[in-house]
Amino acid sequence: MKHPLLFVVLFVVSTTAQETGKPTLCVGRYQSEADAVKQLARLSKTHANLAQWKARAAAVREQILTGAKLNPLPRRTPLNPIIKDKRSYNGYTVESASFEARPGFFVYGSLYRPQSSKGSCPGILCPHGHARGPEGGRLRPDQQHRCATLARMGAVVFSYDMVGFGDSLHLGWNHQHKQALTLQTWSSIRALDFLETLPDVDKKRLAVTGCSGGGTQTFLLTAVDDRVAVSVPVVMVSAHFFGGCHCESGMPIHKTAKLETNNAEFAALAAPRPLQLISVGGDWTKNTPKVEYPFIQSIYKYFDAEGNVENAHFAGEGHGYQLSKRQAMYPFMVKHLGLDPKGVLDKTTGSYDESKNTIETPKRMHNFNSLKEMPRHALKPGTIVSFK
């Protein structure tokens, strides 16, 4: 410290922050890659056996819920689901489906089901990321392919809008809503509740997969809800990058006076449940094979469950949930959920055929054309949602 005054100022600032217990927001590239490696080493030192890890995991989980203003968890209010407009395609159906995560606050989505569902299907949630074109989120062809292909292999799949995307956008909500992190995390928990109400869904085989901002939703939901049996976060688990949007890092879930953590440790909370990390060379997941994956493996070792965690890394590829990444995810879901790839998997090439999927138009995928079609008690777009 060269200047004594600077030392005094820094000392006062850090003392004040500690005394007030004010948490720090870790936004975007909050720390360097080298600092992330050092932080993971510090985090690893907080436990040396399974019991200590379980205590650590509980503290991290509690910090997520507290930071997201979901601690204690809000009361479960009636979902009042609206399922309609069934469309039949090659081996699967799609319905428009929505429910109330809070009274009057609707989550809008598309429900994909196998054509010949005989009951007891795995249920898979598909949150989406921030990509806006063409038409964005749930409406994107990539997302439709993912959901349709999983349904053709026997899963009931719910693909649902972030705040200010899809129907939510079309009906007037803005993604800049200050409760976005709270609303989306709670909506994902309620989406599991929604899947559990469906008679053809096996409650013991629930999974979630999403990319980018949908990857954030994937590991946050898996961290806070034990019902998730299989988790596949795509191009998002990074120890140095915390998510650039307020719906990912705009609330104090990462760093408080009591506990520091990062998204790699959030993902590790999946242990010992099956977890697949899909990463690429072209974004903040570029270090996954040598940084985040070994860290997460070390947690799975406590459970003797190293076989349950995998990393599919595409060194030459960029951000997104394109065909190559989906081709890596499908066999993981087949293996851990007991999906039936017959008619979809070409055994000679090992590739999963998406050519029989039907890509719908955004207009076809809307649940409601206007607010007038919605139940009267639907909240006005932009309303601050009550959690009391």
Give the range of 41-49, 147-155, 239-247, 265-273 binding Zn ion by CB under 5 A.
239-247
| Count of residues engaged in binding Zn ion, rule: CB under 5 A | 2
Q: Give yes or no for a contact between 46 and 56, defined as CB atoms under 8 angstroms apart.
A: yes
Residue closer to Zn ion by CB (options 139, 245) is 245
- The single-letter code of the amino acid at 329 is M
Residue closer to Zn ion by CB (options 151, 247) is 247
Residue closer to Zn ion by CB (options 40, 245) is 245
Q: How far is CA 196 from the centre of its chain?
A: 18
Q: CA dist 258 to 17, 28, 32, 76, 200, Å? A: 12, 21, 22, 29, 43
Q: Give yes or no for a contact between 354 and 143, defined as CB atoms under 8 angstroms apart.
A: no
Among 223, 236, 245, 268, interactor with Zn ion by CB under 5 A: 245
Q: How many CB atoms lie within 10 A of CB 270?
A: 27
Residues between 79 and 98 that touch Zn ion (CB under 5 A): none
CB of 382 to Zn ion, least distance (A): 16
CB of 30 to Zn ion, least distance (A): 16
**177: region left, alpha or beta (phi > 0 left; psi from -120 to 50 alpha):** beta
CB of 245 to Zn ion, least distance (A): 3
Residue closer to Zn ion by CB (options 56, 138) is 138
Nearest to 183 by CA among 158, 217, 210: 217
Name the token pair of 206. 């629930």
Residue closer to Zn ion by CB (options 25, 50) is 25
Residue 126 binding Zn ion, by CB under 5 A = no
Give the range of 3-11, 40-48, 120-128, 247-255 binding Zn ion by CB under 5 A.
247-255
CB of 69 to Zn ion, least distance (A): 16
> For Zn ion, what does the binding mask look like between residues 252 and 281, x meaning CB under 5 A?
------------------------------
Distance from C-alpha of 222 to C-alpha of 208, rounded to nearest angstrom:
8
Give the range of 97-105, 244-252, 278-286, 300-308 binding Zn ion by CB under 5 A.
244-252
Among 147, 247, 275, 345, interactor with Zn ion by CB under 5 A: 247
Q: How many CB atoms lie within 10 A of CB 165?
A: 25
Q: How many CB atoms lie within 10 A of CB 240?
A: 24
CB of 262 to Zn ion, least distance (A): 18
Give the range of 17-25, 119-127, 186-194, 238-246 binding Zn ion by CB under 5 A.
238-246
Distance from C-alpha of 163 to C-alpha of 384, rounded to nearest angstrom:
12
Distance from C-alpha of 208 to C-alpha of 159, rounded to nearest angstrom:
10
Q: Give yes or no for a contact between 134 and 81, defined as CB atoms under 8 angstroms apart.
A: no
Q: How far is CA 39 from the centre of its chain?
A: 23
CB of 246 to Zn ion, least distance (A): 6
CB of 242 to Zn ion, least distance (A): 12
CB of 180 to Zn ion, least distance (A): 6
DSSP letters of 79-101? ---EEEEEEE-SSEEEEEEEEEE
Name the token pair of 88. 């039949």
> For Zn ion, what does the binding mask look like between residues 190 and 219, x meaning CB under 5 A?
------------------------------
Contact positions vs Zn ion (CB under 5 A): 245, 247
